[in-house]
Chains A and B, each alone.
Chain A
Amino acid sequence: MTKSGFVVANLFRKRTRTVLTLLSVIMAFLLFGLLQSLNTIFNAGANYVGATRLITQARVSFTVALPLSMVPKLEAVPGVSRVAYQQWFGGVWQENTPLFVFAVDPLRQRDVYPEYVMPDAAWQAFANTRTAMVAGKMVADQYGWKVGQKIPISSNIYPQKNGSKAWAFDLVGIFDGKDEDAKKRTNQIFINHDYFDEANQFGKGRANFFVLKLGDSGSAESVSKTVDAMFENSPDETKTQTERDFNVSFVKQIGDIGLIVRWILFAVFFTLLLVVGNTMAQSVRERIPELAVLKTLGFTDGAVLGFVLAEAFALCLFGGLVGLALATVAGAMVEKGTGGQFQLDVDWHVWLIGLGAVVLMSIAVGLLPALRARRLKIVDALAGR
């Protein structure tokens, strides 16, 4: 027998209670893993290119489109090497499956997003065919699309001039990612902006945002300030930010996801604190004579405190590890199930924060019972006082 064996044996003295408590811990950490990775998604930017791209949108909101006449002005800003633009199409596949469809300038898109790889002929076909579309490999695989097919996609925003919201595009290429990160983002579809601009019933010559490719990542801040200053007090004031900040502000349209996630996690962990804390307190209460016997045998007050804390830690650690492992598997399943459109990546950052939470939780639930055990007076405890 070892000290750790003794700790584990004590933990399972009431098997049913321990298993139920463990299930609560596992569920809490499963939720924690998934929500924390959700939070990461909302904070994620294009890390793979660092700050070599900026996004310029209308100052009020990216839903307010900006005129394409800004493109040459943007390209003239020192530090900007190329400008692409994107217009949200509001694509819907079949009944009501939303797709990430953007109307883009094909060759500008290729230049600004070098991480999307596709044969040059396909890029040319995309540029030269008005009704062309290219799809990311992930989404093409998901729906079994092949190059050469005509793909019917509806828009929940833009009707054609004849009033129909049913559009159809010729799939001329399927692009993949240059590396693992980029591959995970091949869930997008691009259509030809020229065609979209002519065929839709609404505004002309506009895009939701411009993507500025920088010649030097060190110039990001100065370019951002120059661009916004350039359009200050004009009808189209801009806000230029990194992709990461753009993503965050995009989701903040829904609400402060970080805050929502934090509140949910707070509620989950507060409940867990009560459940596990109660289990630990009860467990110590039940064996006060045993703890007194330990002290009688020569275990110091500190050693007894250590035993109780170790039990709390073992409980939280086991539940935490299983919960995080399940979250990792569940995240991968969600990612696969949604064709990568929902990338719940429970990565090492989440694990690290999770393990930190395990330590804090162990102290929070174990410290009071452990201190009680430490303070026990042998004579009183043995006499049942």
Chain B
Amino acid sequence: MPESMVEVRNVTKVYERGRQKVEVLHGLTLEIPKGDFVALMGPSGSGKTTLLNLIGGLDQPTSGEVKVGGQRIDQLGSGELAHWRAHNVGFVFQFYNLMPVLTAEGNVELPLLLTKLSAAQRRKNAAVALQVVGLADRAKHKPRELSGGQEQRVAIARALVSDPQLLVCDEPTGDLDRKTADEILGLLQVLNREHNKTIVMVTHDPKAADFARRTLHLEKGQLLEQAA
């Protein structure tokens, strides 16, 4: 039995929208082993991003347990959770979410400001991360000087630079053309296969899901199946 990276047990998430309470996840249970690459699919409103946010420690469940890397993160306070995210998880967003005022190198170095590394070591690590995503020659460029695909590579380098075991990706190719999307997904595949990163990716795109090892389908806040 492979060791679990993510364990979600009987999780419920209720959002309050004004006076209304909307239950997005209904007692969901899920286990993702270390080194897995999982695609989460489902229609809009099915709870994919909510589940991803819970796994990435961006939000807390209303009830149930979320365990990542053996640690209960649903019980952590805001500060502890921030500290946990800084050291254990990398994020990749649909719209890259880079800092426009920083260069590619600066963006990748940003999470390292939370470590005790020296400035020189931070620069070195950022350079290595950019090399991994094939953008070493664009280190000094600002996001507006990069293509969408390049921006997403910088975002992946930023997610990698702290060497987390888990990457959570929310529609990482949703804003890219097919060819570029395939390149990015190929890169994620390399990170999963060669660097043993566990990846949880939300996508609407079945072709993107094909790059994952397995696909999970959500509908109305419940997991429908678990396909290999």
A-side interface residues toward B, CB under 8 Å?
1-3, 5-6, 9-10, 12-13, 289-290, 293-302, 378-379, 382
* Main SS class of interface, B: helix
Do A298 and B87 have beta carbons less than 8 Å apart? yes
Central interface residue in B59, B101, B105, B114, by most chain A CB within 10 Å: B101
Asked whether B193 is an interface residue with its Cβ less than 8 Å from the other chain, the reply is no
CA A290 to CA B86, docked complex, whole Å: 16
Query: Are B82 and A6 in touch, CB under 8 angstroms?
Result: no
Which of these binds chain A: B3-11, B92-100, B203-211? B92-100
A2 to B105: give the CA distance in the assembly, Å: 12
Looking at the assembled complex, report how far the CB atom of B114 sits from the nearest CB atom of chain A, in whole angstroms. 5
Q: Contacts A296-B85, A299-B82, A382-B93 known; list 5 others, CB within 8 Å.
A: A1-B119, A9-B102, A290-B97, A293-B97, A297-B91
Query: Which B residues are CB-close (under 8 A) to A298?
Result: 82-87, 111, 114
Which residues of B sit under 8 angstroms from A5, Cβ to Cβ? 106
Q: Chain B interface residue count: which class? A: 20 to 34
In contact, A1 and B102 (Cβ under 8 angstroms): yes
Encode contact with A along B144-178: 1 for CB under 8 Å, 0 otherwise: 00000000000000100000000000000000000
Closest to A301 in B: B78
Contact partner of A297 (CB less than 8 A), chosen from B79, B86, B119, is B86
Q: Which residues of A contact B91 (CB under 8 A)?
A: 296-297
23 A–B pairs (Cβ distance < 8 Å), ordered by A = A1-B105, A1-B109, A1-B110, A1-B122, A2-B119, A5-B106, A6-B99, A6-B102, A6-B110, A9-B99, A12-B101, A13-B101, A289-B97, A293-B97, A296-B91, A298-B84, A298-B85, A298-B86, A298-B111, A298-B114, A300-B78, A301-B82, A379-B59
A318 to chain B, nearest CB (A): 17
Q: Which residues of B contact A (CB under 8 A)?
A: 53, 56, 58-59, 78-79, 82-87, 91, 93, 97, 99-102, 105-106, 109-111, 113-114, 119, 122, 158
Bound form: Cα–Cα A13–B82 in Å:
26
C-alpha spacing A10/B101, complex, angstroms: 6
A3: chain B residues within 8 A (beta carbon): 113
Residues in chain B near residue A290, CB distance under 8 A: 97, 99-100
Interface centre among A6, A297, A378 (most CB of B within 10 A): A297
Checking A2, A9, A10, A299 against B114 with a beta-carbon cut-off of 8 angstroms, the contacting residue is A299
Residue of A nearest to B108 (CB): A1
User: Which chain A residue has the least Cβ–Cβ distance from B80?
Assistant: A300
Bound Cα distance A59, B75 (Å): 78
A18 nearest CB across to chain B (Å): 11
**A127 CB to nearest B CB, Å:** 74
Residue of B nearest to A385 (CB): B17
Min C-beta distance of B84 to chain A, whole Å: 8
Q: How far apart are A273's CB and chain B's nearest CB, in angstroms? A: 26
Q: Which residues on the B side are within 8 Å of A295 (C-beta)?
A: 82
Chain A residues with Cβ below 8 Å from B101 are: 9-10, 12-13
Minimum CB–CB distance from B104 to chain A (whole Å) comes to 11
Report the Cα distance A2→B100, complex, angstroms.
16
Contact A297-B85, Cβ < 8 Å, known A1-B106, A6-B110, A382-B93: yes
Interfacial chain B residues near A2, Cβ < 8 Å:
113, 119
Closest to B54 in A: A379
Which 5 A-B pairs have CB atoms at the shortest separation, nearest pair first?
Answer: A298-B86, A9-B101, A300-B82, A1-B106, A293-B97
Q: In the bound complex, how far is the Cα of B106 from the Cα of A293, in angstroms?
A: 14
CA distance A10 to B102 in the complex (A): 9
> Cα distance A293–B99 when bound, in Å?
9
Chain A residues with CB under 8 A of B82: 295, 298-301
Kindly state the separation between the CA atoms of A10 and B99 in the bound complex, as whole angstroms.
Answer: 9
For B119, the closest partner residue in chain A by CB is A2
| In the complex, chain A residues whose CB is within 8 Å of the CB of B87 | 298
In Å, the complex CA distance between A297 and B79 comes to: 12
